[in-house]
Amino acid sequence: MTRLFGTDGVRGKANKTLTAPLALSLGAAAAHVLTGGKGTAKRRPTAVIGRDPRVSGEMLAAALAAGMASKGVDVLRVGVIPTPGVAFLTDDYGADMGVVISASHNPMPDNGIKFFSAGGRKLPDEVEDQIEAAMNTLPPTGPTGHGIGRVIEEAHDAEERYLAHLQRAVPQSLKGIKVVVDCANGAAYDVAPRAYEQAGAEVIAIHNEPNAYNINEGCGSTHIEQVKAAVVEHGADIGLAHDGDADRCLAVDANGNEVDGDQIMAILALGMKANGELRKNTLVATVMSNLGLKLAMEEAGITLRTTTVGDRYVLADMNAGGYSLGGEQSGHIIISDHGTTGDGVLTGLMLMNRMAETGKPIAELAKAMTVLPQILINVPVRDKSIIMSSESVKEAMTKAEAELGATGRVLLRPSGTEELFRVMVEAADKDTAHKVAGRLAAVVAEV
């Protein structure tokens, strides 16, 4: 049986695979697992629900709220707010659980449901499995009378609480910094411009008019060319691009050049080390991070730990080791002193704070690492499970690694959702990366 939960909650096409009845059942099961036994005669358990602006979020929020209330949980709906905002508010309100309805950077027809436990923390796999199991075993009835949960339609101070939290994280005034922010017509359409303005920056906001249908449509972090053009047009110092739920952030320098998640981590790691905030002198990234990040951290005397792909695995490693900074090349950056999950708006503030602190433009700060050419080829295969045991693949990898030496890297890994094998090669120059990747991809395709 296919597992309902994926790498980042429950995802699907809204009203097709991700339906209102499914959300109702999911809400009831999550309430049972995450708040079971916590209620008393004087206090019912509480859940926080937030969402991005896509049209199906209204339907799914109503269904989730009904499911949770049917199990005796009071529901506080906080409206349209970034995913990290829901995580923060779950802790700030002292709630027993939180739910965000968003498909992140996916197009509008899709949606997703992601849960947080008390304290605003992502759920481990085993708890998600318990929720999935409860969907099939819970009785359809629940408490009656005073035991039924209440639904508060809008928590009017939610955004202000989140904004105040963001401002507490920024020690420097951002006065004198001109920033273009692409809000992706998503959850950060109001919060991001306000947060940057409150910190002192001059803000030009684009794609900040969601209409329930245009989220991520030709804009945001998956279409960074929009913010590149706007930065050059307006003569801004920096551009920031968020995705639909604003848990990620990519940047652009004054010339319109991209500053990706690896470069952002390098900038923040050096700044946090200088300020004594980089716990255990360690940065956590994934295996997909550019080799240039590893080389830059080695030069700076910083340990780089790597995990499998996915911000949840970065976060798990950070929590286990007590580290303060981690993230992904895609722009999911986790700063554990200020949040329990990746926060794109916080990342934007921290980047501009570093600019203000050093007096250096983002382009100069980004020189902290050299991005090595990285080639990724998706190879259709008959059986993903046999690729890495193939003698021809092993031989080709050994040859490629010897050819690249210390200035290159080879990574082969299966797709999590398709019959594809991903061949990634980094090298000191693009021609070499292309040549080696193409040769490896040909061997994989023959298996």
Residue 408: CB partners within 8 Å, gap ≥ 6? 291, 372, 401, 425, 426, 427, 428, 432, 433, 436
Three-class secondary structure of residue 312 per DSSP? helix
Three-class secondary structure of residue 425 per DSSP? strand
**Token pair in block for residue 50:** 């937030």
Q: What is the dihedral of CA 52, 57, 62, 64, to 10 degrees?
A: -80
245 is in an annotated binding site: yes
Identify whether 56 is a catalytic site residue: no
CA geometry: angle 396, 406, 390, nearest 5 deg: 20
Task: Find where tokens 């999550």 sit.
Answer: 30
Backbone angles phi, psi at 198, to 5 degrees: -60, -30
CA geometry: angle 122, 321, 265, nearest 5 deg: 75
Which residues does residue 241 pair with via DSSP β-bridges, in sequence order? 182, 250
Helix and strand totals (H; E) in the chain? 14, 19
Element (H, E) at 435: helix 430-446
Cα 225 to Cα 203: distance, rounded to the nearest angstrom: 18
Q: Is the dihedral of CA 294, 6, 320, 243 positive or negative?
A: positive
The answer to whether the CB of 100 falls within 8 A of the CB of 33 is no
436: left (phi over 0), alpha (psi -120 to 50) or beta: alpha
Closest to 73 in 3D by CA, of 19, 33, 23 = 33
- Within 10 angstroms of residue 121's Cβ, the number of other Cβ atoms is 17
25 is in an annotated binding site: no
Kind of pairing between the strands at 238-242 and 258-259: unpaired
104 is in an annotated binding site: yes
Residue 126 is which amino acid? E
415 is in an annotated binding site: no
Instruction: Render 111-123 in DSSP notation, one character per residue.
Output: EEEEEEETTTEEP
Q: What is the DSSP letter of 423?
A: E
The active-site residue out of 25, 56, 104, 221 is 104
The answer to whether the CB of 99 falls within 8 A of the CB of 76 is no
Residue 308: CB partners within 8 Å, gap ≥ 6? 286, 287
| Residues annotated as catalytic (active site), given as ranges | 104
From the annotation, which residues make up the binding site for Mg(2+)?
Answer: 104, 243, 245, 247
